[in-house]
Structure 1
Amino acid sequence: MDTTAVILGAGYAGVMAANRLAGQGVRVRLVSPERRFTERIRLHEFTAGTRADPTVPFSSLLHPDIEMVYGVAEDIDAASRRVALSNEAVLDYDWLVYAVGSGNSSVPAGAEAPSCLSGAGPARDKLRSLKPGDPVAVVGGGLTAVEVAAETAHAYPHNPVTIYAAGPVIQHFSDSTRHGVLRSLERAGISVRQEMVEADRLPEAAAVLWCTGFGVPDLAARSGLAVDAAGRLAVDSRLRAVGRERIFGAGDAAVITDPGYSYLPQTCATAMPMGAEAASNILRTLAGEPLPPHNSGFQGQCVSLGRQDGALQFLHAGYTPRRIHLHGRAAAMLKEVLCRMTLKWIRGEAKRSGAYTWPAGPRMTPAPALAEA
């Protein structure tokens, strides 16, 4: 097939899109600033020192026909269909998938941010330098903060860990699931304080781990593409960039602005279906087929509370909690299984384009119609 797709970003969304397209004969050039794939869902383990390496070779995940291009995209010229890289290379494309992912939000001086690889390394070094009794502060109340705090407390039992959360921890969990998580944190010796931390007034601690959320690159905005207030590429329900039918968006750095999609969080369970769907819609367009609206949802979400403890919140398709939940060693084992399955799903797509499937999303009223290719 004499068609070239450039994929910007080689995270969960980017590699899934690349595998699906390459398996159908599309020439794929996958742009990555990193030489290896980072398992971001394991960065809390790497930070605490319970995992030696959170990366795997791209060669173990990708379709053999995919061409890796190492660099950082600096500008997208949508009119001429070109991408300029930081190393002065220029890539022409017929189709572009914008999947540059997310990084740390603004991190104050004196803190380390373990939510991406560039921050997890310094955070790991900081923890290793602690003396017994040195306190650790984890700022944030989401899944990343809870997992980092729990993993750190188990790896460094002689260093008191405190979570500083502006509101209830893991707010999208049910009250009963959250109470179970809090009991696990208490058993691990972790204190939880519900208070806002200002960037210029950090907690008094030997190590401050900043886990307050994700920020995205400003590439889309700098390139004159439509973005939301957070700088994410604005796409429609078919994952097409607003006003740019040759550009599709997926993952943390893209947001569906059509009504009904605000339930989608920035997680790999959102990114992978978006990446696969973006690729599928390129293939449908090439075949002259109508494009269905994106349809992905959830069944549950696990949180690691150390190597031997965890919690599983069963979810409705629209990311709201069900009454059912699971705690303890069984939940920890299921979390580990899901982490391993994530790579298996990516490898499965490399072997057979279209192999990866996902849960359906919530029913929308009225249901979106098919769009012409």
Structure 2
Amino acid sequence: MAHRIVILGGGYAGVTAANRIARRLDGAEVTLVNERATFVERVRLHQVAVGESIVLRPLRERVRPGVTVVVARAGGIDLDRREVVLERGASSGAQRLPYDTLVYALGSQAAPAPDDAVALATVDDAWRARDRVGALAAEPGPVAVVGGGLTGIEAATELAERHPAVRVRVVSDVDPGSWLSHRAQRHLRRVFGRLGIEVVSGSVADVRDGAVQLTDGRVVGAGLTLACTGFAVPSLAAGSGLAVDGTGRIRVDGTMRSVSHPDVYAVGDAAVPELPNGRDFRMACATALPMSAAAGTAIADRLAGRKPAGLRFRYVNQCISLGRRDGVIQAVDGDDSPLRMILGGRVAASYKEAVVRGASWFAAHPGPYRPARAVPA
């Protein structure tokens, strides 16, 4: 009987893992489970939110021949029976999909946000925001972007550039881009000034009735509030009994294998590798792609009787788009600490676009990943 490998999640991490496994293993049954039939470039959702178009490619076109795509939601994992509970809709009921090896690549979702705010974590979120932005652009009103992190910065600059009549305010309890070098922060402030983006410092207490209410009593008017306050992982892993950290991410070793269940691997935003230097990976394509490639290689090596070498990874840079015509590329050391060197302007925008396109291409065409030489077990 063929070895049954099930991958949960059809984002960058899941597609990379499925293609890597299918490329290296002959005769295995590889099944990719995803809620949508399309592959979504999540790093472009801020573009969708302001009215730009992106191509949603059928998931079956992004995976290698031999990978079976199942459109369903993973509602549970029975670790003892090695089965995934699939939910296809009320009419179909729950179904069980058996596995010999499971790859958990369900990624992350928006952190909890007030009901009156719109998040930017899924393509449905982005479409919802796009409709609201379109109405505001026709009859200009203010937009509040809550959060000074990467998503908030990219959403605010994209919006201000495409809809200059819309007043954009970034509401954050920390300076936007505070983790960047001083040179990168100066460039960011110049772009905010050029685009007319206002920064409001403060902590958000609530969002309702067309306004953002701060903890100090101030009120920031907003016809639309975009919640860009970070990401959280689904509760499925913890609820199923897998060993997780304090945020719910699956604890894995250097080969992306669960420390509690050896027939389960986890990659991408929902996994936290236990690496010798104690580093904590940030949620990003930059980490999801090599993690997934390493997991696929490890699974193939173990099934072939070889000892997998595990993940070897270092950071190189952080790429931030500031609209379609500007950006900032922050050089970092191997541990992700900012260095002095940056790129800005159109060169940085082109660089970021190339990185985004490259991530999508790599997921569909993962080449040979050799973290180290695999040796017989």
TM-score (norm 1): 0.91
The answer to whether the Cα contact below 8 Å between 1:61 and 1:343 also exists between their aligned partners in 2 is: no
Of 103, 111, 116, the residue aligned with 2:117 is: 111
The answer to whether the Cα contact below 8 Å between 2:35 and 2:72 also exists between their aligned partners in 1 is: yes
| Aligned positions, number | 358
In structure 2, the CA distance between the partners of 1:261 and 1:64, relative to structure 1 (3 Å rule), is: farther
Q: Does 1:298 align with 2:299?
A: no
The residue number in structure 2 matching 1:16 is 16
In structure 2, the CA distance between the partners of 1:238 and 1:41, relative to structure 1 (3 Å rule), is: same
Structure 1 residues not aligned, in runs of 5+: 350-354, 361-369
Question: By how many angstroms is 1:55 displaced?
Answer: 2.2
Of 312, 315, 320, the residue aligned with 2:332 is: 315
1:178-189 to structure 2, matched below 5 A, reads 178-189=185-196
The residue number in structure 1 matching 2:91 is none
Q: Tell me how far apart the structure 1 counterparts of residues 164 and 74 of structure 2 sit (CA, whole Å).
A: 42
The residue number in structure 2 matching 1:151 is 158
Q: Deviations over 1:267-318 (max 9, x none)?
A: 0111111111111111111122223232222211211111111111111121
Question: By how many angstroms is 1:325 displaced?
Answer: 0.3
Q: Deviations over 1:164-211 (max 9, x none)?
A: 122122233111111111111110110112221123554320010000
Q: Secondary structure at 2:272's aligned position in 1? A: strand
The residue number in structure 2 matching 1:92 is 98
TM-score (norm 2): 0.90
The answer to whether the Cα contact below 8 Å between 1:115 and 1:144 also exists between their aligned partners in 2 is: no
Displaced runs of 4+ in structure 1, greater than 3 A?
Answer: 199-203, 370-373
Question: By how many angstroms is 1:356 displaced?
Answer: 5.2
In structure 2, the CA distance between the partners of 1:371 and 1:142, relative to structure 1 (3 Å rule), is: farther
The residue number in structure 1 matching 2:71 is 70
Q: Deviations over 1:27-72 (max 9, x none)?
A: 210000011001011111100112x235222233210111001111
The residue number in structure 1 matching 2:175 is 168
Of 15, 30, 33, the residue aligned with 1:31 is: 33
Q: Does 1:141 align with 2:148?
A: yes
Question: By how many angstroms is 1:259 displaced?
Answer: 4.6
Please provide the CA RMSD for this pair.
Answer: 2.0
The residue number in structure 2 matching 1:102 is 108
The residue number in structure 2 matching 1:268 is 285
Q: Which moved more, 1:116-125 or 1:134-143?
A: 116-125
The residue number in structure 2 matching 1:366 is none
The residue number in structure 2 matching 1:214 is 231
Of 42, 45, 49, the residue aligned with 1:43 is: 45
Q: Tell me how far apart the structure 1 counterparts of residues 243 and 291 of structure 2 sit (CA, whole Å).
A: 18
Question: By how many angstroms is 1:258 displaced?
Answer: 4.5
Q: Secondary structure at 1:101's aligned position in 2? A: coil
Q: Secondary structure at 1:49's aligned position in 2? A: coil
The residue number in structure 2 matching 1:120 is 126
Of 182, 199, 202, the residue aligned with 2:206 is: 199
Structure 2 residues not aligned, in runs of 5+: 89-93, 214-219
Q: Secondary structure at 2:365's aligned position in 1? A: helix
Q: Tell me how far apart the structure 2 counterparts of residues 134 and 323 of structure 1 sit (CA, whole Å).
A: 38
